[in-house]
Structures are given as C-alpha cells and as structure tokens.
Amino acid sequence: MHVQEWLETVPAVSIYLLVGVVIGLESLGIPLPGEIVLVSSALLASQHGDINPYILGACATAGAIIGDSIGYAIGRRGGRPLLTWLGGKFPKHFGEAQIAMAERSFEKWGMWAVFFGRFVALLRIFAGPLAGVLRMPYWKFLIANVFGGILWAGGTTAVIYSVGVVAEAWLKRFSWLGLVLAVLIGLSSMLVLKSRAKKAAAREQARTVAAAEPDPVPAAD
C-alpha cells in the first residue's frame, strides 16, 4: 500500500503524531523516511479538509527541532564509539565515506551545515548526533536547528500543500494527461537526483580509500 493511501485511513490526530514522531526519530539519527511522510501528509491535507496544514507544519517542525536536540545530546555523550556502532547497524547511512563527508561539511560550514543539512537527506540524519560528537557549542547548534527546522518542515508543508491544491484543480481540468505528465516529470527528476547522489558517493568513497592507503616506501639506493 502506498504511503498516501495508508494515511487516508488514519485519523487526523494520528497523522499529526505520526509526522512528528517519524521526523523526530529521523532527526535523532535513525534512518526513516521523514520527508516522504511529510510530503504525503501535506498532499493529503490539500485534498481533505479535516487535516489542518498549520497543525501539520507545527508538528513536523517540533519533531525536527526536538529530534535534532536529542540527537545532539546523544552524540555529545556517546562520542566516536557511537558513530562506530551506528556504522555497524546502518552501513549504508553511517559508513566511513558518509561520516567523512559529513565531518568535512561540519568543519567547513559549522552552523550552516546544521541549517542547510535539513534539506539534504544524509545530513538531516547526521546533523544532531555529529554536532554533538564534534562538540559544537549548543547555543550555535540550537539557533541553526530551530531556524532550519522551521524553514524545512514549515516550508515543505506550505509548498506541498499549495502545489497539491493547485494540482488537484489543474488535473480535474485537464484530465489524466496532466497526471501522466506530472508522474513522468517526477520520475525523471528522481532518477537524475539518484544518479548524481550515487556518483557523489562513489567519488567520496574513492577519495577515502586513496587517503587511507600508505605512502609508497622509496627504494633504497
């Protein structure tokens, strides 16, 4: 069953709680489809009047901020051993290449990595725990976390809800041809982004392997 089809069978209050909990757990460091759940719920809100988009956005924002803060506390307490343990449990998300890339982002951008990390799937999972592991001052983390959470969760809800309302009216007007076109555009965009992500991960892994290799020993005269 598709996520949105399943959400249609759930009461509005349960959807608010589900969105907040899933996004909170993802922000805490557990690889969950928080963005998919939020987008599906916002689309559902555009089609059903019993789901309030303002409450939905507020629950998503609260889950993002609280989850990230808990992740920060766990990372600060657990340190490097925590990342090693997560790498064993979730190698695709917390492998050496992914951790190295996230660390470079944090070292280079600091607070901005937390803020803009909200909009990147990998950094969204890493942001809280890694900021704690790297001992980022909590006040800096909190500012970036709050503003990033509001912009990502609230903004995503607002945009998807508005697009859903417009798209529904548009599709009714232009029948199934509009739906087919929208699906094709969505699939093409997804494939392009997926291909770029794979290439970036491959380059990062090759860079990590090259850095780990010992320097050649010079031949004796």
Please tell me the predicted confidence (pLDDT) of residue 171: 46
Please tell me the predicted confidence (pLDDT) of residue 87: 66
Q: Is the pLDDT of residue 20 over 90?
A: yes
| 19 token code pair | 């969105």
Q: Say how far apart CA 122 and CA 104 lie, in whole Å.
A: 13
- What single-letter DSSP state applies at residue 134? T
Q: Which residue has better confidence, 203 or 36? A: 36
Please tell me the predicted confidence (pLDDT) of residue 132: 84
pLDDT digits (tens, 9 = 90+) for 160-219: 888 776 655 554 554 445 545 555 655 665 566 566 656 666 666 666 656 656 555 555
pLDDT digits (tens, 9 = 90+) for 125-152: 778 888 888 788 888 889 999 998 999 9
Task: Give the residue carrying structure tokens 């709050």.
Answer: 146
Please tell me the predicted confidence (pLDDT) of residue 135: 81
Q: Is the pLDDT of residue 114 over 50?
A: yes
| 111 token code pair | 């607070």
pLDDT digits (tens, 9 = 90+) for 61-106: 999 999 999 989 888 887 667 667 666 666 665 666 667 776 777 7
| 56 token code pair | 């939905």
